[in-house]
Copies of this chain bind each other. A is one copy, B any other.
């Protein structure tokens, strides 16, 4: 049910030919209230797609009536024509819903540079058809319509204390922090004001989507939107809501990791006893972005030297000659030298756990990443063609 699991929301997914496969490619999520609160976080890439430029402005007042999303084209680096397409999409949705266009968010995903007249006509057509089709059980269709190279839809629902949070996500590559390459819409019928919604969303994404780094590549189109209908009539404690929202975000982030393009291992890099949380994140991310490490994991090769070479490039506090490294529960390196034999490490399971003990403090962080595989190279060498 994803985005229609919470009361007060309608959604739909329709097919208008943006995808050559004929699959669903335009989605809407409409907030039927009573509250119309919204919050969103965006890619930190300075090269931002037109929908991002629009939505960043539109969300400022904390009011979101609906989100229109399309796959099959990123509408990024498509010039002023592309921005007008986004603007016209918002106006079309606003007109059909009887609201202001500044309360409509837009998301696009697909090939950068795609956004011509044909694209515009299909998106406008899809917006009209999706709003006409929107219903309280349209969440699953919406989650299918935002898929690109995803092999399956990503959905998560948490219900507690009389209120519900549900979400959908898409993303299978270009997954890197700030944010991972993704479109995510999360809805809730809990009662929240705009500042609480914004704070909860930033807190949840900072420890989930922002720590997913499948390939070090940051997208131009990332957007995570939280929509609040208040239809449950229940105002949860601030921490309860933030915790539940973090859970939904983590479940979606884990699903994104598990479906990353071409990956054969889901790698969790846990850094413990760091001097600070930013240190732990820096160390984890440096390993997550090391192609030699990632290729070794693909080859089921416990090449811990590449872990140490990667963390040696960071500015984090630690003694390079007093770091322990564990791979799937086996301590392969300790005190600056080899420990257990490489032969003791079984890297054949898809789920792979790297534990790095920096031995200097009490902070920790976990980065989620994937291995570097032939299939990753294949998919990404043939994407546009």
Identify the stretch in A41-49, A100-108, A129-137, A154-162 within 8 Å (CB) of chain B at 4 or more residues.
A41-49
- Partner among B301, B333, B385 whose Cβ is within 8 Å of the Cβ of A382: B301
Residues of B contacting A241 in the complex (Cβ-Cβ under 8 angstroms) = none
Query: Is A32's CB within 8 Å of the partner chain B?
Result: no
Given contacts A311-B47, A381-B299, contact A291 B215 (CB under 8 A): yes
Given contacts A76-B305, A219-B309, A308-B47, contact A295 B336 (CB under 8 A): no
- State A180–B112 Cα separation when bound (angstroms): 32
Interface residues of A in 299-337 (CB under 8 A from B): 299, 301, 303-306, 308-314, 320-321, 333, 335-337
Residue of B nearest to A173 (CB): B292
Q: Is the interface of A mostly helix, strand, loop or mixed?
A: loop
Interface residues of A in 265-323 (CB under 8 A from B): 289-292, 295-296, 298-299, 301, 303-306, 308-314, 320-321
Most B CB within 10 A of own CB, among A217, A309, A313, A314 = A309
Distance in Å: Cβ of A272 to nearest Cβ of chain B: 18
Residues of B contacting A174 in the complex (Cβ-Cβ under 8 angstroms) = 292, 309
Residues of B contacting A372 in the complex (Cβ-Cβ under 8 angstroms) = 291, 377, 380-381
Interchain residue pairs with CB less than 8 A apart (5):
A79-B335, A111-B303, A113-B338, A301-B383, A372-B380
Name A residues whose Cβ lies closer than 8 Å to a Cβ of B: 44-48, 74, 76-79, 81-82, 111-113, 173-174, 215-220, 289-292, 295-296, 298-299, 301, 303-306, 308-314, 320-321, 333, 335-338, 342, 372-374, 376-378, 380-385
